[in-house]
Amino acid sequence: MAMAPLDLFLLASATVFLFFYYCNMLSGRRAKRGGGEGDGGSSRPPLPPGPKGVPVLGSLLQLGAKPHETLRALSRTYGPLMRLRLGCVDVVVASPPSVAASFLKNDSNFGSRPPNSGAEHMAYNYHDLVFAPSGPRWRLLRKLSAVHLLGPKALDELRWVREEELGVLVRMLRARAEGAGGGAANVGKEMHVCSTNALARAMMGRRVFEKVAAGEEGEEEEMRKAEEFKEMVVEVMTLAGVFNIGDFVPWLKWFDVQGVVRKMKRVHRRYDVFLDKFLEECRTSAKPGAVDLLSVLSGQKGKSDGSGGHITDTAIKALVLNLLTAGTDTSSSTIEWALTELIRHPDILEKAQQEMDSVVGRERLVTESDIPKLPYLQAIVKENFRMHPATPLSLPRMSMEECDIGEYRIPKNATLFVNIWAMGRDPTIWPDPMEFRPSRFLPGGQGEHVEVRGTHFELMPFGAGRRICAGTSMGIRVVHSTVATLIHAFDWKLPEGQSADGIDMGEAFGISLQKAIPLMAHPIPRLALKAYARV
């Protein structure tokens, strides 16, 4: 028998009251156990300081639309290591490199992810690589990905695929420049098509958007599909970055008060249909003896994953989803930010072009083997990683056991975030942090010896430690070679009536940091005609 509306209201009110009472009691017990919060007698280290928040929700409502900015503001009040209560979950946020290092070097305790709706509803219930708990299956998937796609040997062997797709991009942009009116390019979308096709070919032996690359009839329709695919990828990355109330207040999970889970399920269904169709096409067209990642994974189906389970189609789809979302969205958005900064700073752009002209010339396109000879380009990429990290907040980690970090105690099952975005804009680390200044990474600059592979904690756009992004090496190569190609092969002009100073630099928060307003710019060829010819 259905309950009357009044009965439902009274039940909900009683539930909230009891939950509030329970949380208050729990917080009081934690405070007494924590020491340093008025108990006067405990020798145990205190919990890190932080805002108290409101009943039930804690500080969830404080985070706003841009949590990375909110957390930086709060850290100025509460210190470099602070604790927030989000619902029933203890969350600790590290901002300066020294504090982040204390956590990330302690991989044995902070090597797993906390439970979250994104992994459950979009990443095939933790069957993927990004959110899977540490263990044999996670290690197996990471190993196979490294050997057949993301490791140094595989990256060298597949370099020709990435350079071929960059050639396709260059010819497409040149054709656009020579068209009627020299149409402006949606830079983020064009980069996403290029990176998706390059990754799909390396991973599965065929492009996702074949007609775009071949210039066949129907290219316009294919570009529309590419735009829809990018929107789907961005939605996945955006939803995965939402602080969903149900993840922090289990009693409210069923209500889905933000509608986040409903959206996650909807986009997952769309992505699942796409993956089923595309993977079947890849398997049908695969050549005998193929050793791409998909073929290897398909050959592993039914075999033990080392954890008592087996490699299944679900695990394969989950890994492919990881690679086709995080592997394309982060690189394309990073490249879009870099080109935006260079258009805003024409003196830096001109200096980079002069360096490439002297090393590469104007008779051919730049290649990956040229990058080590282009120190100013490398400095530009590092400066872009500093100001526009691919992930503003590190993907969350969870403490497996209670531990002490510095003078504070970190509870068991606490969620850890490292504010990578805030580090890049910290004036105590980087003088004049809001200035785009690549020279800080050249010889004599304070960042001369800083690298981005997780060994220098003041600049770690890919994270650090055991759960560092599996695609770090690929991301570094792709960003360097693509940015180099775009500014070597073309000059860039903004649409009529728009000035460099007027470019909107607003951010759209998610797991990756998108430009809120996409960059539109006209490519103007600057190389000899033969440089654009199909090889």
Beta-bridge mates of residue 514: 508
Task: Name residues whose C-beta falls within 8 Å of residue 22's C-beta, 6 or more positions apart in sequence.
Answer: none
**Separation between Cα atoms, residue 365 and residue 371, nearest integer Å:** 12
Dihedral sign for Cα atoms in the order 328, 330, 333, 335: negative
Q: Kindly report the backbone phi and psi dihedral angles of residue 417, in degrees, each rounded to the nearest multiple of 5, phi listed first.
A: -120, 140
SS3 label, residue 70:
helix
SS3 label, residue 491:
strand
**Separation between Cα atoms, residue 174 and residue 101, nearest integer Å:** 45
**Minimal CA–CA distance to 305: which of 142, 415, 428, 442?**
142
Beta-bridge mates of residue 490: 525
Q: Determine how β-strand 81-86 pairs with β-strand 397-398.
A: unpaired
**Separation between Cα atoms, residue 211 and residue 136, nearest integer Å:** 40
List the alpha helices (DSSP H) in 116-218.
117-121, 136-145, 152-157, 159-178, 187-204, 210-214
E strand map for 32-107: 81-86, 89-94
Instruction: Determine contact, residues 162/481, Cβ cutoff 8 Å.
Output: yes
**Minimal CA–CA distance to 326: which of 478, 166, 451, 152?**
478
**CA separation (Å) from 126 to 59, 276, 379?**
27, 18, 37
- What size, in residues, is the chain? 535
**Separation between Cα atoms, residue 200 and residue 20, nearest integer Å:** 49
**Separation between Cα atoms, residue 483 and residue 353, nearest integer Å:** 11
SS3 label, residue 56:
coil
DSSP 321-354: HHHHHHHHHHHHHHHHHHHHHHHH-HHHHHHHHH
**Separation between Cα atoms, residue 299 and residue 409, nearest integer Å:** 46
88 annotated among ligand-binding-site residues = no
List the alpha helices (DSSP H) in 241-303.
245-248, 260-285, 293-300
Annotated binding site for heme: 469
Annotated binding site: 469
